[in-house]
Amino acid sequence: MPVPFDPHFIDILMPDLVGHDRSPSAFVVYLYLWRRLSLTSRSAVQLSYATIALETGLSKPSVQRAVTHLKRRGLLTAKAKTPTSVPEYTIQRPWVGRLKGA
């Protein structure tokens, strides 16, 4: 199923995360979560680090660092019912509001 692709991902986000932040795994995890969310009608997706690692080809520690980095950058929110439960992730696109007003 084709999914509309936001060119901002490649034009701005990729050079920022991969080049500036030196975190290509954060870019991969962001795109992966965006794709998983695009396949549902929900605003959040519940996935474990192990699942993300398996489905992206990244190591679990790389996924953990990527999620932390994306949360710190305001590109991802994660909510868990308990500290040990699998979180629900919501991607953020902070540029959307700024671009509309430009």
Q: Structural domain of residue 21, as residue ranges?
A: 8-94
Mean pLDDT per segment of 10 residues, for the chain of length 102 residues? Answer: 73 84 92 91 94 97 96 94 93 70 46
73: helix, strand or coil: coil
CATH number of the domain encompassing residue 74: 1.10.10.10
In-domain check, residue 57: yes
In-domain check, residue 1: no
- The total number of structural domains that make up the chain: 1
In-domain check, residue 77: yes
Give the model's pLDDT for residue 9: 78
Give the model's pLDDT for residue 1: 61
pTM for this entry: 0.85
Give the model's pLDDT for residue 90: 95
Q: Of the candidates 73, 99, 71, which has an alpha carbon nearest to the alpha carbon of residue 87?
A: 71
In-domain check, residue 33: yes
In-domain check, residue 99: no
Give the model's pLDDT for residue 89: 96
In-domain check, residue 3: no
